[in-house]
Amino acid sequence: MSATIPFQTIDFGYTPLEEQFIPQPQVFIFTNHVTWEQLWQSSKILDLNLQKPPAPQFDFKRQTLIGLTSGSRSTGGYALRIDKIEVVTSAEGDSWILHYTELVPGRNCLVTQSPTTPTAFIAVEVPVLPIKLQGKTVSMEC
């Protein structure tokens, strides 16, 4: 029997990861304000004052933020959900398997014709171990 790591799903609304082109699934780990701010400063989005919006505040003393993208897609209509984090032990040491589901638009769904990069963020309260990804795809009906 394997252990699971509790996590909290964080919804920032839009994030700068969504506008980047990332060809393959990728994990981003944020352990401090510096790297978190760097991500937000990479955004092309401007607020009503034509300024880059500040990064959402987060308590890095208590938690680590993990961002996941399933990779860029040619249209809209995609979403991403993190299902669980499983701890596995091997001869190389402990690691995590991050299980996720990518929701893809069904054949009859209307989608935007602009590229998108589905992302999800979670917070954990334990030190992060090396992460392997285990994804599945589920088609949504419209």
Q: What digits encode the pLDDT tens for the residues 28-82?
A: 999 999 999 999 888 887 778 888 888 899 999 999 999 999 999 999 999 999 9
- Residue 84: pLDDT band (50, 70, 90) is very high
Residue 2 confidence (pLDDT) above 80:
no
Sheet holding 26-30, edge to edge: 8-10, 119-124, 64-69, 26-30
Give me the domain span that covers residue 104: 3-140
Q: Tell the residue number behind the tokens 């944020």, with chain if given.
A: 30
- Residue 131: pLDDT band (50, 70, 90) is very high
The percent helix, strand, coil of the chain (3-state, each to 5) is 10, 40, 50
Asked whether 32 and 128 are in contact (CB, 8 A), the reply is no
Decide: pTM greater than 0.75.
yes
Supply the DSSP symbol for 60. Answer: T
Asked whether 120 and 102 are in contact (CB, 8 A), the reply is no
Asked whether 102 and 82 are in contact (CB, 8 A), the reply is no
Structural domains counted in the chain: 1
